[in-house]
Every structure is written in C-alpha cells, then in structure tokens.
A and B are shown apart, each in its own frame.
Chain A
C-alpha cells in the first residue's frame, strides 16, 4: 500500500500537466492506435483521464492503466495536434517511469537494458558474435529489401521479416576518427545510433562520404551508447540516465559545431528528452545537457541548412527513379523537419520524388511497441505499405532506421520489390565516381 501512496504522490507531481487536457478529444483524429481500435483508453485524452483517476485514487488497480498506457507508439501525433498544448509525450514517459517504479521492470527488459544496453562494449561484442551466426537461425526472403525471416520458430521474432544484423557493424568497418575542420569550416560529432551501427552501417558510411566530400571535419568515437529511448519508453529511467551520462562523457568535452545523427529518433531523444529528464540532475550537468541538445541536428537538416547542399549537376540518362518519402514522427511531429530530407533526396537528379498519401502518418513501429503489440503495429504498418505501393515508387526513403525496419518488414511480407534508403544514401550516390 505504501508503494501505491508513492505512485499517487508521483502522479500528483504532473498534475499541472494532466489538468491542461480539456477533454476536447481532437487527438482522436490523429492517433494511429485509436484509428485501429476505436477505444477511448487508447487515445491521449483517455490515457490522461485514466492517469487522473489513478492520481485521485478513483481507480484502485494501476495494472489496467499501465496496459492502456503501454498501447502507445509515442509518435507524438496527439501532442502535435493538441489545441491546448498538452505535453502528452512528457506525461506518458513520466507516467511509464512511475509505473515501472511501482511494478518493477519485466525480467527480459531488465536483462536487455541493464545487462546489455547499459554496457555498450559488451552489447557490441554480443551482437558482433550474433551477426556471424545469424544465418543458422534465419533465412533470406527478399533480395531487394535484404530482409530475412526466422528459420527456426522464435517467440521474439515470430513472423517478422527483419533486416539482418550487418556482417560488420559500423564501429568495426570504419575506424574512429577526429578529423579537423575542412574547407567548409565546419566540424560535426557523428552520433550514429544503435540501428545504423548494427543493421545499416551503409548509412553511416554514406554520412562519412558526404562529410568528407564537403570538407566537414568529423569526430566519431566508438564505444557510443544507445541514446536511451528504449529504456525510457519502458520506464527504466535508471538505465536512461546511465546512457545519457556515458554519451555526455564521450561527446561533452569534444570540439565540434553540430552533433549529427542519421536517426530521427536519436535526434529527437537528444534534443527533447535528454533535457526533459535531466530535471533532477545537478545544475552544471543540466546546463551541459541543454547545450548538447541545442547542438544536435538531423543529418539532412545539417547538410541542407549548414553545408548548403544544392542539387547535383549530373547527367541523367532515362527516366529518373521514383522515390517516395515517409516522414518519421520523431522528425516531423517532434522537430518540425520535413522539407530538408526531401531537399536532400531532390539533390540527386536521378530520382524523382512522388508524395504518398499520409506521408506523415506513423508507420507503426514505435520502437519496442512493435515487439509488444506486433499485431496492432502490423495493422498500422499495412496502411503505410499500401500508401507507399500506391505511388508506384521503386524506392521508399525515410530518415529513421527504426521506420526502415518496420517498413521493410511490411513491404517484405507483402512481397513488394522496393528498396529502402535513407536520404543521405540517395544524396551520397551523386558523389560516387565523381
């Protein structure tokens, strides 16, 4: 019972944020989960009402509230569309942390977050070994997408078509570097993010190629830790704070102008959630985290706005390749960035951008949401797949490797022969053989 008192006390701390919801229900228009289930408890208004009930001790059992709260992609559509400016994501992340404090972290997540994620070197080693042996357990299913499915039935993998672990992770394939500013006069720190490192090192290589070409100095240490979002979204604030501290140590004292990432989720997490969750840390640490947050940029934002990338003057033979672009929630809804990645795609004249319907609707990945609610995630992903295929594009582009995994799964399961690329890869192609 004392734990319950504590939970209520914690929820009272966010009372000011909860009460800002005027119950207008406009979030129903944009929530991808609500669009599938139609349940009030699945939309932001409903979740906030339940949290208020819990805080007021009208609801006695937090389990039901936790279950509703977990059915959320954290895509931020509700927050972006909220007439009264409710900080729904702040509320949900904090409430998840409170509820995880109450119930404890489930054993599997505890093992992954605290055993693996929190120790970047060990994490790298385990996945490095796994990548060598993955062929024993999986088989390739789609050559265009490069996806695989489980050879042997596994509870975790289920029927998914997933991108295999890269043969060599980026931190194995590319050496650490700390190159000075080149002719651009700019220097970046390159935070590549776990999924790019372990599954899409080719995106990281494209970033390095582009920076080299434009005379941008790059600081790229290895031993980078996860940005922390998987832990935070599961309410594991302890691991989140440890990961932020690790990364701050690695990047905090380095000399650079912009912290770039090719991952929308990492960018959004560093920019918004690092400072948000730093509220209890010492003033100096908070200040440094805020400084870091101010320096982070999505790679396309950096290339278009700071470097000034313009369309390449290249000979185009034949029809340009049709490409359609999916707006990751963490880039458009969270940070308002949608023009720059398109401009980066358009910088390659061998491609032609075709807009899909609902380009900014969530793909249904939501990070670990897809692991817990695969069926719902798949239903949402199917709409995205249908919109992509309807454009007739040969290439689907997006700025978040987590979206790439989800969209890859959806396309592969439908047997579609599309290729998925990051805008920086498309731009990097213009530099090859110059």
Chain B
C-alpha cells in the first residue's frame, strides 16, 4: 500500500497504454457498428420491402360481358397483374362472376372468408360451398352456413364498353376487406 505512490511513472505509462487500447477498441466497435448498419439496414429493407409496400389494386379485364349470361354465376380467371416469368400456373387467379342483369355484376373472390379455401358454385341449389370446413354462401355472396365470419369477398366491378373489369391482384383476406 505504501509503495504505490513511490512509482507513479509506471502507473502513468500503464494508463497511457490502456487508453490507446481503449481508443482502438472504441474505434473498432464504432466502425463495425457503422459498417454493420450500412450493410444491415439495406438487408432489412430488402426483406421487409413487401411489408411496407401498399397493395396495388389493378384494373383487370375478365372479358366481354356477353360471356356472362344474365341471372347466372360463371367461373372466370385472370392473370396476376404483377407476374414473374417463373410464376407458372400460380399466376392464374380464379373468381366467380354473377351477372344479375344488364351491367349489374357481382364478382366474388374464390377464397372462403373462413380460411381461404376455394368455394365451389352449385347452380341448382344456388349455393357456394367450401370443401374445408363446410362454409356455405348464398347466390349474392351472403353467409348461409358454417364457420365463415362474413359473406364472400367481392371485387370492385366496372363495365366499360361492353367489357367487364375488376380491381384485382390482391389475395383477399380479413385484413384488406371491410369486415
């Protein structure tokens, strides 16, 4: 204990050395944090880009209105408006088109509002039935039976110059359709 102040020079050199090391350590940490952030933030941006992208609804043609007889519900499909070359068949999106009369249309998403399975139309009983959990819907898309929380999802419909258009390209689910 008594000898400590006797050799202050050694202490000083020691602390000087440490401070240089400390400086290098801090610099090392700092530079790596900076570089890591410069690599990491774009990486997160890349992965999360789909997280922040708004859903692009696109006007898509389903063909001339004559294809859809009045009072009937018909199967139709459209190509994903934002396709990749390697989408294959997954870019064909099915839907149900109901022409009530004239230019009065309802276009339903294929996906059951319960868990998204494809509903099938039965012309005779005028019902949509789901093969997964037995959801059933009326001709106008209203909920008829089973666990779905609401009626079928509908696309926004436009008829222009005898051609039927829908606003599509987004897989309908409870988060992007009004409940």
A, B: real partners: no
